[in-house]
Structure 1
């Protein structure tokens, strides 16, 4: 294994930065390539067939270009639909993003859990299976919110967003039957941890949980005996279309110093 072989993170936009950040803390010297498929954004409004064909084809091109040691699909929608397709197409380890229903069930006192994701993610049988296996005694209330995805993208691009806007986008989950009992909310879209401050202010009685730290631990485990550079390096961010210019100034916080367009 070449010490300079990078970790490849993939998402439709900036949401996967919520997975990159805890990974950076565990593996500070890991070379990073982060890919935002903004030409295909938003995935949550695309059909399953589109995502199942687009994501493996795009990742195949990226693996040929960057030769990563491991790929991370840092997107719940892409993972729940295309993860098996990607694993069968690529000859390297692929880590997916799973809604954190199991730890949410362990935390919930009221046995009412909210699952907040994209429209595509919350309707997947994968979520049904997780709920049946790990939260069978809980009421699971799902809500797909494309508005929250857009708000997270806007926040990272330096635009001002309000707690009221975030509250309005998530409120239907709490207005659903049993929603008033929700005490744990699963952030089943990697964009949504970027709005954790606003969500906590909007719904102060709810604990919010996401899969980012667990994914970071999985990446560290899978690469535990591999060599890394002796010093940190600036990460590379690749867009599939021209990015918002205002976004670029925020990327340094995540250790990204170079921007490319595919």
Structure 2
């Protein structure tokens, strides 16, 4: 009698909200044999409102439970803020786990720019992180790099994808500082350094004062995950599902998850205190 093969382990996605869905879309194409678990720490959203140390502790503590509960093959941190803040601590705390991070796509932007003027549109946390400054120093030393930290775009993107579209003026206010024209040269590449932002790419293109290349990191993150996640025979029979730490993401979000082929795991809830959670 032939023994049944065990299902491949799932790949776990982690984000503060629904921005990581842009990466999940690409990862499914490259890793069709895997199932996926999407974890949104919406009880703590937006991460930009947190002080660094409490947020770092929260993320690491949350992964103690997530890894024990779901035993994934690998973890994709689909959030620049989370990875640039807690990535090193996660790898040190869980040395046997593969963590694929999200960092601002500064290197490819520096390779592609013709004008030498790049803007990095990110959350305030990512903008102020030493990790981001190190990327600029290492890969874009010959470029003029304009860091733009938006306090509101992640929230606007979450509203937008759920169908709650705000006036153009709100979006334009957030992206206007990205467009720099000096000494006859203009910004020609804008790095979307938050996985929420690609949801708004068509809005950005429509409102931009001149054409630029909006650099979406999703495909590059998925390619890196494919390189690190073993390719195996067979295909998972397990459904993809989503976990929200609030325990109550609301009807619009549930419908969105269904549209992405994700069922809802009801076993996660979080009290109103964003510093605590239960799984």
Q: Shorter-chain TM-score category?
A: over 0.9
1:228 and 1:42 mapped to 2: Cα distance?
38
The counterpart of 1:215, out of the listed 178, 196, 221, is 221
1:152 and 1:198 mapped to 2: Cα distance?
10
Structure 1 40/106 Cα, relative in aligned 2: closer, same or farther at 3 Å? same
Higher helix share: 1
Structure 1 158/131 Cα, relative in aligned 2: closer, same or farther at 3 Å? same
2:129 and 2:235 mapped to 1: Cα distance?
39
The counterpart of 1:137, out of the listed 119, 137, 142, is 142
Q: Rg bigger for which structure?
A: 2
Give SS of 2:76's match.
strand
1:177 deviation in Å? 7.2
Structure 1 24/49 Cα, relative in aligned 2: closer, same or farther at 3 Å? same
Is it true that 1:158 corresponds to 2:163 in the alignment?
A: yes
2:185 and 2:129 mapped to 1: Cα distance?
24
The counterpart of 1:79, out of the listed 80, 83, 88, is 83
Unaligned runs of 5+ in 1: none
TM-score, with structure 1 as normaliser: 0.92
Alignment of 1:237-252 (within 5 A): 237-241=242-246, 242-252=248-258
1:67-125 CA-partner distances (Å, limit 9, x unpaired):
10101111000111100101111231111101100111111111010000100001111
Structure 1 58/175 Cα, relative in aligned 2: closer, same or farther at 3 Å? same
Match in the other structure for 2:62:
58
1:57 and 1:227 mapped to 2: Cα distance?
34
Q: Is the 8 A contact 2:7 2:236 kept in 1?
A: no
Structure 1 109/4 Cα, relative in aligned 2: closer, same or farther at 3 Å? same
TM-score, with structure 2 as normaliser: 0.87
1:78 and 1:85 mapped to 2: Cα distance?
11
Structure 1 228/162 Cα, relative in aligned 2: closer, same or farther at 3 Å? farther
Q: Is the 8 A contact 1:5 1:31 kept in 2?
A: yes
The counterpart of 1:206, out of the listed 199, 202, 212, is 212
Match in the other structure for 1:100:
105
Alignment of 1:246-261 (within 5 A): 246-260=252-266, 261=268
Q: How many residues align?
A: 261
Match in the other structure for 2:272:
none
Structure 1 35/240 Cα, relative in aligned 2: closer, same or farther at 3 Å? same
2:263 and 2:183 mapped to 1: Cα distance?
46
Q: Is the 8 A contact 2:32 2:235 kept in 1?
A: no
2:226 and 2:191 mapped to 1: Cα distance?
23
2:235 and 2:72 mapped to 1: Cα distance?
14
Structure 1 138/257 Cα, relative in aligned 2: closer, same or farther at 3 Å? same
